[in-house]
């Protein structure tokens, strides 16, 4: 079975440690709906209906689903795991750390 680091694309020889990263992102609904005037609300609902119609027609469904809940798995080598753990949000780092 071929194993490869999904980040650096390096082949992982048999026995080399690797880690599975699970990325999970889901909508953080705070229970509040924006106070919209009727005209804006109607326009947003119309846009949403159009999106849903397109979704029903094809791959847009997956895109809409990903906006609500997304889960991905990645296999990474030790070096890539350490980089990810050190900066999981990919924040800008001081130049000397890049």
Q: Which residues would be at the binding site for Zn ion (CB under 5 A)? A: 5, 7-8, 77, 80
- Give the integer Cα–Cα distance in Å for 26 and 66: 8
Q: Give the torsion through C-alpha atoms of 31, 28, 68, 90, to 10 deg.
A: 160
Q: Which is nearer to Zn ion, 8 or 47 (CB)?
A: 8
Longest CA pairwise span in the chain (Å): 62
**Shortest Å, Cβ 19 to Zn ion:** 10
**Shortest Å, Cβ 4 to Zn ion:** 9
**Shortest Å, Cβ 94 to Zn ion:** 23
């Amino acid at each position: 079975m071929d194993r490869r680091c999904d980040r650096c694309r390096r082949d992982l020889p048999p026995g080399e440690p690797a880690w599975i990263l699970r990325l999970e992102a889901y909508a953080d609904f705070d229970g509040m709906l924006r106070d919209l005037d009727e005209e804006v609300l109607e326009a947003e609902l119309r846009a949403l209906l159009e999106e849903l119609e397109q979704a029903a027609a094809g791959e847009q469904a997956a895109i809409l689903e990903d906006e609500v809940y997304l889960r991905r798995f990645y296999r990474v080598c030790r070096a890539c795991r350490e980089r990810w753990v050190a900066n999981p949000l990919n924040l800008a780092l001081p130049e000397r750390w890049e």
